[in-house]
A and B are shown apart, each in its own frame.
Chain A
């Protein structure tokens, strides 16, 4: 048995096997994470609002998300009459591509990584921009004015916040001298980068809230203004793909924040992967906490905040970091 596996591995090549196994793992993590997070979000929301949240299906309502996904799977896929069909169908699928690709380069542990690309962070940034494309396609193809406004908002918002996001990561790349996520995590063996770069961390975190369209920056789906924003016309499984992508994005931005600022998988006693998940979910919890505390900002305030405050400050931060490192 063992021999056959080794034989197969030798035939197809170690890298290919690693990638395939890794991708399967990524799928499991993505689905497991989304299912866990929907449950967590509802539980956190419940307790913040002093109610219980889901409790009937399974112990502590843990199986509620499974029941919900079964319900969503069983629903008829409605297609409104005047939609732009190719775009309308493409959007929910497309939103999943960046989600899967970015997982490839995240180091869950020293060795638990699908593939360590030496320009890892560039891969993440390049692919995460695709999310907004699918939102635009979905909003445009839906033939709904609310969806369109949501989509347009989303584009403006993502362009504005991608810049501070990138600028706040650059100082870390300077300090670690590498684009590879594993190198960056390794570089924090002694001290976490958040100690050297608290401002960059804050900027990154705020920008990533905006990138994931979470409250207080959830303008593309602002329910009190735009009903459901870009996914107003989506239902059933297509809707749940958008939903899944949102939760996975939350996980990804938190994971990047952990890798860049909070020492990645580093930590005493427990194995690295455990530390990684603890830190990531702590940040995810903060995101949830934000959502159930704050009202939504207005659109012009959102853009002003990025262009007038976040970008200048992150430039300054970058300049200071560069100066100190070189002198």
Chain B
């Protein structure tokens, strides 16, 4: 990789004492590993920031003798994943904050603080993000570590205090337009928002901890529960990560079927959003039309996978079972034809509607430059005009051999986000068509997969493009049959982080339109 060698060349003279190593990308999913120390971490972050690296993920791994903070970076222009690690003393873990460089780190650091008890010096608001008051220990630490009293004071993450000329509104956890149980505390001045602060954790189920207690096989149903509208894509992210970790080969046919079913699932997920977004703006009928179309996909996928929503279809080394060649392909082709007609109808009903256009055009503008600070991805970043798509950047499954375009927007407003998603439905239809044309025959599963997986020691990061953006899974294996640590990088999390920024000073109706245009899925954020 050209960029990786360039970075090494530039890095070495600047940081003479820091270890930088190249890593086999095919095996571990990242290019470079840097071992930072508390003293020089901020300089390294600054070095990467100057080179337009965005932060993919920030998390912690408890290795018992030390805690390791892991910072993942990459660029939007070219894939070059860099893992920066920082070792901390488990007795008194303190690290410098990077939240003044990368805004999204504010949330990541709060998350690490509540799950591992790591303190970040200089963090503006180191309160709890997900957990509730009753919690008495740090859940992701391998040994029981009690929460000290001064830390417990930080538990109640948001207590609004009223001021003159403004008032607070709790948007959620039960509210028609938060799509699940997201709570946003709005500080209002009349109809205008002064500030918006999301409060997370109402759907927190701790999938990452669950993973540490089950075998690789047993964790298979879980990813689908994180992102229920795009279950297959999360399923794929996990399955591919484990396959790479164990070096399992996947037959071509399985790769194509994975691509086709994933794209079907992507359309289903976009249709769910297409129903919900106009409903946020007050139009209730598109919801039913979109569900009518979505029902067709669910029928097709049910025939293949056996379930309608939380699919668990991919297996290590292939699939659960083969598709029924005739019925599946017939039904899919019929669906593609129907969907193309329906897209014309949606154009007439929604896209062209003058009220709709006026409601979302030039509202909630996200600038391309902010992508680095927030690390948002998926349709949200593509709407700003950046053609960043994991399917192209780092082709997985059969995406490498299928040619497709990446729809992008211009200014990154709500209209662009809407149009990008609508265009993506069309692109997905083309991918499915192409995939069906090329579908090879052969086995759908490799025979050589052991019943009890015990991957070799090491770690891996694997990312796919889910409906909402870059979904990554990071697994540390210690040669046992359960993962030592599993970390999920979820796109809605970083997409939602931009909401407080966009919601400042706008009308409540616009804020809700913006929230709807993100297509957030709360179970995915809370995990």
B292 CB contacts on chain A under 8 angstroms: 50
How near does chain B come to A99, taking the closest CB pair, in angstroms? 25
How near does chain A come to B177, taking the closest CB pair, in angstroms? 4
Please determine whether A225 and B177 come into contact, CB atoms closer than 8 angstroms.
yes
Bitwise interface map of A from 145 to 175 toward B, beta carbon under 8 Å scored 1, else 0: 1100100010000000000000000000000
Q: How far is the CA of A49 from the CA of B349 in the complex (A)?
A: 13
A192 on interface, CB distance cutoff 8 Å:
no
A225-B177, A299-B509 known; A292+B284 contact, CB < 8 A: yes
Please determine whether B512 and A225 come into contact, CB atoms closer than 8 angstroms.
yes
Task: Name the residue on A nearest B191 (C-beta).
Answer: A299
Please determine whether B358 and A293 come into contact, CB atoms closer than 8 angstroms.
no
Q: How far is the CA of A295 from the CA of B512 in the complex (A)?
A: 13
Please determine whether B508 and A297 come into contact, CB atoms closer than 8 angstroms.
no
Q: How far is the CA of A43 from the CA of B169 in the complex (A)?
A: 35
B353 CB contacts on chain A under 8 angstroms: 294-295
A300 on interface, CB distance cutoff 8 Å:
yes
Grouping DSSP codes into helix (H, G, I), strand (E, B) and loop, the A interface class, with mixed when no group exceeds half, is loop
Grouping DSSP codes into helix (H, G, I), strand (E, B) and loop, the B interface class, with mixed when no group exceeds half, is helix
Task: Name the residue on B nearest A49 (C-beta).
Answer: B288
How near does chain B come to A105, taking the closest CB pair, in angstroms? 33
Q: Which of B191, B288, B355 is within 8 Å of A149, CB to CB? A: B191
Q: How far is the CA of A105 from the CA of B282 in the complex (A)?
A: 35
Q: Which of A222, A292, A300 is within 8 Å of B285, CB to CB? A: A292
Q: Which of A45, A49, A215, A297 is within 8 Å of B358, CB to CB? A: A297
A224 CB contacts on chain B under 8 angstroms: 176-177, 279-282, 512
Please determine whether B278 and A295 come into contact, CB atoms closer than 8 angstroms.
yes
B289 on interface, CB distance cutoff 8 Å:
yes
Please determine whether B285 and A293 come into contact, CB atoms closer than 8 angstroms.
yes
Q: Which of B177, B288, B356, B507 is within 8 Å of A295, CB to CB? A: B356
How near does chain B come to A299, taking the closest CB pair, in angstroms? 6
A82 on interface, CB distance cutoff 8 Å:
no
Please determine whether B507 and A300 come into contact, CB atoms closer than 8 angstroms.
yes
Q: Which of A50, A218, A223, A298 is within 8 Å of B288, CB to CB? A: A50
Contact-size category for A:
20 to 34
Task: Name the residue on B nearest A226 (C-beta).
Answer: B508
Please determine whether A227 and B175 come into contact, CB atoms closer than 8 angstroms.
yes
A216-B355, A294-B355 known; A48+B509 contact, CB < 8 A: no
A145-B167, A215-B282, A225-B508 known; A297+B289 contact, CB < 8 A: no
Q: Which of B175, B280, B285, B349 has most A Cβ within 10 Å?
A: B285
A300 CB contacts on chain B under 8 angstroms: 507
B21 CB contacts on chain A under 8 angstroms: none
B509 CB contacts on chain A under 8 angstroms: 222, 225, 296, 298-299
Please determine whether A222 and B282 come into contact, CB atoms closer than 8 angstroms.
yes
A149 CB contacts on chain B under 8 angstroms: 191, 508
Q: How far is the CA of A216 from the CA of B285 in the complex (A)?
A: 13
How near does chain B come to A142, taking the closest CB pair, in angstroms? 14
A293-B285, A299-B509 known; A223+B176 contact, CB < 8 A: yes
A145-B169, A224-B177, A227-B175 known; A298+B359 contact, CB < 8 A: yes
Q: Which of A48, A50, A216 is within 8 Å of B282, CB to CB? A: A216
Q: Which of A50, A51, A294 is within 8 Å of B283, CB to CB? A: A294
How many residues does chain B have at the interface if contact means C-beta atoms less than 8 Å apart? 29
B510 on interface, CB distance cutoff 8 Å:
yes
Q: How far is the CA of A20 from the CA of B207 in the complex (A)?
A: 70
Q: Which of A218, A292, A297, A298 is within 8 Å of B510, CB to CB? A: A298
How near does chain A come to B392, taking the closest CB pair, in angstroms? 33
Please determine whether B281 and A296 come into contact, CB atoms closer than 8 angstroms.
yes
Q: Which residues 359-379 in B have Cβ within 8 Å of A in the complex?
A: 359
Q: How far is the CA of A30 from the CA of B349 in the complex (A)?
A: 34
Please determine whether B507 and A298 come into contact, CB atoms closer than 8 angstroms.
yes
Q: Which of A45, A146, A294 is within 8 Å of B169, CB to CB? A: A146
B349 CB contacts on chain A under 8 angstroms: 293
How near does chain A come to B204, taking the closest CB pair, in angstroms? 24
A301 on interface, CB distance cutoff 8 Å:
yes
Q: How far is the CA of A218 from the CA of B280 in the complex (A)?
A: 13
Task: Name the residue on B nearest A297 (C-beta).
Answer: B355
A218 CB contacts on chain B under 8 angstroms: 282
B283 CB contacts on chain A under 8 angstroms: 215, 293-296
Q: How far is the CA of A298 from the CA of B191 in the complex (A)?
A: 11
Q: List 25 A-B contacts (CB under 8 A).
A: A45-B284, A49-B289, A50-B289, A51-B288, A145-B169, A215-B283, A216-B282, A218-B282, A224-B176, A224-B512, A225-B508, A225-B512, A227-B175, A292-B284, A292-B285, A295-B283, A295-B355, A295-B359, A296-B509, A297-B355, A297-B359, A298-B359, A299-B191, A299-B507, A299-B509
16 more CB-based (< 8 A) A-B contacts, given A223-B176, A298-B507, A299-B509: A49-B289, A145-B169, A216-B282, A223-B282, A224-B281, A225-B177, A225-B512, A292-B284, A292-B285, A294-B282, A295-B281, A296-B282, A298-B359, A299-B191, A299-B507, A301-B358
A residues apposed to B, CB below 8 Å: 45, 48-51, 145-146, 149, 153, 215-216, 218, 222-225, 227, 292-301
B residues apposed to A, CB below 8 Å: 167, 169, 175-177, 188, 191, 278-285, 288-289, 292, 349, 353, 355-356, 358-359, 507-510, 512
